[in-house]
Amino acid sequence: MARGVDVYLFPAVVGGGFGDIEEVLAAGRRLARAGFRTILYRRLGRPLPTGVDGPWAWPRLERLDRLDPRGRAAMTVVPAWGVSAAPERPGPFGRAGPWAAEASDVERAYGTDRTLHVSLEEFARTLTSREENLERLREGGVRSRQLPARLAKARTLGEVTTFDRAFRTFRAFDRPNVLHVFATFRRSARFAREFPEAVQTGPLWPARYRLAAPRRTTRSPEWFWYASPASAEGIAPLVAEGLEATRPPVRLYVRTPRPWRISVDADRVEVDWGRLEEGAWRRRFAAADLRIVTGSRTLLEALEVGGPFLYYNGTLGMGAGRRRHRPEKIVTLLELGRARNWPADLLRDLDDFARAHRIPEIVSRAARRAGGWARFPRSLASSGFRRPYDDAGELLVRVARRLTAPGASAEATVAEFRRRSNL
């Protein structure tokens, strides 16, 4: 055991998907492997937040309902600390986070300056203030050609000032013992200049697919689709259409959090909704010939296990007004792919599929390994980071080890890693 620091995991759902939970557990797995005492603490009588007590890949940890401090310092790991663990504050949306009571208990037990909170922020969301405001308008339905005028109007009405103030408030950038980790594929110098409190890093890798993928017992090729977005059901017939002419026939296995209303060809498509035990998920995901993924965690899993994948994070609206939901993950990935000279036709297919364009054609091309699909990249390294900032997991281990130093304080440690991230 690494002495001196107790690590507390506070998993919760922030954006609506379960990836927020898995990300906290991924951090826990990395810290536990490094020898740190890892704890899931929940006050006696308080149920865990929705979705937490599930079939996840839990690290080795202790489950406590009363604190038992052993280290001289504590580190908590929580998704979006300003939402999930901040105390109650006055004003709109000021309700305390689902882990606020436990975070407060830890601070009282160890002392505020010996408690460092790691806030895992949304993956690849390293947008400047201007980009954030444009994105909220775009996703809200403003057409591209109207965005400049609508942004100018938003400034006049004070919307931009209100949004910017809320952005800082609900990320708790003013808290000196909170380390805000913004993991991404490519470091943004503009984001760093505007938000020096943020610590940009490379991805927090799942570290679940180190071994070779197990052999499938079936001879038929299979695709694995994590169809989390509600709009996935709407494009499913187009995906099936693209697979119709494949030889040998490709079977499509669909994992979805909700039952589908559409009918599917049971001989070619299996829709499986609800929870799946972690080991079964990993085996089937790793063995698939292609994976259709969403959000950030399954995207990183697809990159880690290797092999071809498609990405779909959902769309809003219909027809000409259709627009992508939270596209920054695929946008940043494609930027890095262009810098790494990925095949141009492959980049176009990944981009268009994420937009729900040309779906049958792209699915057919991927199944046949046409063009650039025959040269799908085997690995991907982040860009623009120095060690240890190139790997979020390694950075967290370094932060925890720094806290073990004699005389180390949470505030000084946060300040040090913020400063070094912006050099």
> How far apart, in whole angstroms, are the C-alpha atoms of residue 289 and residue 66?
46
Mean pLDDT of the chain: 93
| Structure-block tokens of residue 144 | 């591209």
pLDDT score for 2: 55
Give the pLDDT confidence of 272-328 residue by residue, as tens digits: 987 788 888 999 999 999 999 999 999 999 999 999 999 999 999 888 788 999 999
pLDDT higher than 60, residue 212 = no
3-state secondary structure of 98: coil
Strands (E), 280-375: 290-293, 309-311, 315-316, 323-324
Every domain of the chain with CATH number 3.40.50 lies at: 2-121+171-203+385-421, 222-375
pLDDT given for residue 275 in this prediction: 76
Q: Residue 310's beta-bridge partner residues?
A: 292
- Rounded distance, CA 207 to CA 46, Å? 31
Closest CA to 86 of 174, 151, 20: 174
Could you give the percent of the chain with pLDDT greater than 70?
97
> What's the pLDDT tens digit per position in 137-155?
999 999 999 999 999 999 9
Taking residues 74-83, what's their average pLDDT?
97
**Mean pLDDT (whole number) for 56-67:** 95
Q: Is the pLDDT of residue 108 over 60?
A: yes
pLDDT, mean of residues 362-391: 95
Question: In this predicted model, what pLDDT tens digit does every residue of 167-197 receive, in sequence order?
Answer: 999 999 999 999 999 999 999 999 999 999 9
b/e per residue, 22-36, with b = 16+ CB within 10 A?
Answer: bbbbbbbbbbbebeb
Mean pLDDT calculated for residue range 220-242: 95
Residue 219: pLDDT band by 50, 70, 90 thresholds?
A: low
Are 310 and 355 spatial neighbours (Cβ–Cβ below 8 Å)? Answer: no
pLDDT of residue 64: 98
Say what the pLDDT of residue 13 is.
94
Rounded Cα–Cα distance for residues 75 and 142 (Å): 42
What pLDDT is attached to residue 291? 98
CA atoms of 223 and 366, how far apart (whole Å): 11
Q: Does domain 2-121+171-203+385-421 have CATH number 3.40.50?
A: yes
In this prediction, residues 383-408 reach a mean pLDDT of 96
Would you mind telling me the total number of residues written for the chain in this entry? Answer: 423
Largest CA distance in the chain: 67
Residue corresponding to tokens 């993991």: 183
Which CATH class, in words, describes the domain spanning 222-375? alpha beta
Instruction: Tell me the backbone φ, ψ of residue 183, rounded to 5 degrees.
Output: -80, 145
